[in-house]
Amino acid sequence: MRGVKSFFAMLLIFAFMAGNSYAAYAGEPTDQVKQTIDKVLDILRDKELKKPSKTKERRTIIRKFIDERFDFEEMAKRALGLHWRKRTAEEKKEFVPLFMDLLERSYIKKIENYTDEKILYIAERIEGGYSDVGTKVVTKRNVEIPIDYRLLKRDGKWEVYDVTIEGVSLINNYRTQFNKIIRADSYEELVKRMKNKQEEELFEDKAKK
């Protein structure tokens, strides 16, 4: 499905955290994002969990940390846009896990290619229950990639609901792609494609075992 490519760029942020520079003025949102990143890094650096026989266990642990920081229901809602309000309770219940699986599988595969890039925390802005955490990823070729995390606060925890990469919103990108499919075909066709993608990924995972 198109749109995943843009998500890959966002995923790199969580993989490239070694040697990071932590801004002295960073507040609670940045602290919580960094906590999640540190947990994922610990898993990626664990020599025992790097073994092929530990792939399933490693990915299960990484998924757990991802789930703690991402608000997938909010992301799914924003990705569907106006089409979300037209969905029944059952359709919403079906769509959120599909969207969550799509993002998580892409994320986990990408971060497993972890290398020692750097990230700079350059800004943080809080307005009520919303926050933006600005960062820059610095590649080995000294190329800077600006990334902004958008978070909302729920029950005392800051959760990611969108990421902007070089000015391009992850959620807006998915919304454009989803809207195109729904208008050209139907919502049912979108779900069908997402399920097919899920089945393809599961088949690939089993074939590697």
Per-residue pLDDT of the chain (209 residues; tens, 9 = 90+): 555 444 444 444 444 443 455 554 568 999 888 888 778 878 888 889 888 888 889 888 988 988 889 899 999 999 999 999 999 999 999 999 999 988 887 767 666 665 566 777 888 999 999 999 888 877 778 888 888 889 999 988 999 999 888 888 889 989 999 999 999 999 999 999 999 988 876 655 554 55
Against a cut of 0.85, is the pTM above it?
no
Q: What is the pLDDT of residue 131?
A: 95
Q: Are 75 and 161 in contact (CB under 8 A)?
A: yes
Q: What is the DSSP secondary-structure string of 21-90?
A: B--TT--HHHHHHHHHHHHHHHHHH-TTTTSGGGHHHHHHHHHHHHHHHB-HHHHHHHHHTHHHHTS-HH
Q: What is the pLDDT of residue 71?
A: 94
Question: Would you tell me the crossing angle of helices 170-184 and 4-15 to the nearest 10 degrees?
Answer: 160
- What's the domain range around 88? 4-207
Here the tokens at position 65 are: 């940390």
Q: How many domains does the chain have?
A: 1
Q: What is the CATH number of the domain that holds 187?
A: 3.10.450.710
Q: What is the pLDDT of residue 115?
A: 58
Q: What is the pLDDT of residue 99?
A: 93
